[in-house]
Amino acid sequence: MSYLERARAQLAQIESMHRRRSIDGHPFVDAIDFSGNDYLALSHEPQVVEALRRARSVGSGGSRLLGGRHREYYLLEEELASWLGRERALLFSSGYHAAIGVAPTIGDLVDRLDSDELNHACWIDGMRLSRTPRAIYAHGRPPIGDGRSRAIVTESLFSMDGDAIDVARYRALLAAHDVLILDEAHALGVLGPRGAGLAAGIDDERILVMGTLSKSFGCFGGFVAGASDAIELLVNRARSFIFDTAMPPALATAARVALMLLAGELGDRRRAEMRETYAHLHAGLASLGLASSAEFSPIVPIVLGSEERALAVAAKLREGRIEAPAIRPPTVPRGSSRLRLSLRADHRKEHVDLLVERLRAAMA
């Protein structure tokens, strides 16, 4: 059997399980989008767009350790570190690159990696690159330490369930030789004072924060922030930093403008608007008998169970000008296929009303 025959056999198997994805087709330009992670709607904010337009070059010229040394990176790293209250920050070309660089590098410094069962695939892949033994714990229930040094790896706001952890409680579980690797990708910009996430105000060198520039910043890229020595080790050991071409410097400039906006009055105003919209959505879903948390989150899952049902409801919504794609295994556990609604600052109550109306019809 040739490799293409094997590929077709695997595709047929994926199709039979209703799990086949496609990137074909055109965007639904006239649809109300509840699928994107541009939470603060900064990707089309005029000041952010103008910063990108003023770019003098497109490519970076190489890795940060070779030709890709640009002033824009260092300025953004300083500003990110200050915003988060950490000693230092380091840019990666994406959040995925950050995770697969951090997990094996920090993993080599401890005896064990403890990972939440619902962590993003980037952490699963990163830990697979580590030689350190790892254990998977039940969602939101990290184990008590056993005297060996360990790294607890967790998201602060989980990307598919929209639930948040109590960072202070996790910190209390750390021994002096432990570390908490905290993925704040979906919390930054949305939660915490000035949008600085759920670890904001917790000054502890045992906490490493990973974030992205592709969500609330409306840009692209990733970063890690923490103790200066830990960041310096990543510069020297993280393969996804050392051997990767640096992100375009123009994106770093745009991200600096986005950070200024999201950490200021505009960000505060949009976070307040999102909370009001969320309360309206919570009430609308309750009227349909659908559960959602009373606690604000930009991520609202509607768990439907089977792949077939999730696909059918998503298709009916799309017919009604609502974009809310079906999320299926392996992205979520088997039997928990869902719609994942992402709230953004440019959603209005009338958008939510239309969503609820279309959901009522789609689930009838």
**Helix H or strand E encompassing 7:** helix 3-16
d(CA 253, CA 49): 10
> Apex CA 214: angle with CA 164 and CA 300, to 5°?
35
Q: Is 2 left (phi over 0), alpha (psi -120 to 50) or beta?
A: beta
Helices (H), 129-264: 167-172, 228-237, 239-242, 249-262
- Report residue 164: phi and psi, to 5°: -115, 155
Question: Does the annotation mark 183 as catalytic?
Answer: yes
**Which residue reads 């296929």 in tokens?**
337
Question: Does the annotation mark 155 as catalytic?
Answer: yes
Interhelix angle 249-262/71-84, nearest 10 degrees: 30
Question: Does the annotation mark 38 as catalytic?
Answer: no
Question: Does the annotation mark 37 as catalytic?
Answer: yes
SS3 57: coil
d(CA 69, CA 64): 5
Question: Does the annotation mark 215 as catalytic?
Answer: yes
Read off the tokens for 163. 């639930």
Q: Which of 70, 97, 120, 347 is catalytic?
A: 120
Read off the tokens for 176. 């002096």
Question: Does the annotation mark 70 as catalytic?
Answer: no
Q: Which of 70, 186, 280, 282 is catalytic?
A: 186
SS3 123: helix
Helix, strand, coil % over all residues of the chain, rounded to 5: 40, 15, 45
Read off the tokens for 230. 């830990």
Judging by beta carbons within 10 Å of its beta carbon (0-12, 13-18, 19+), is residue 152 exposed, middle or buried? Answer: buried
Question: Does the annotation mark 186 as catalytic?
Answer: yes
Residues known to be catalytic: 37, 120, 155, 159, 183, 186, 215
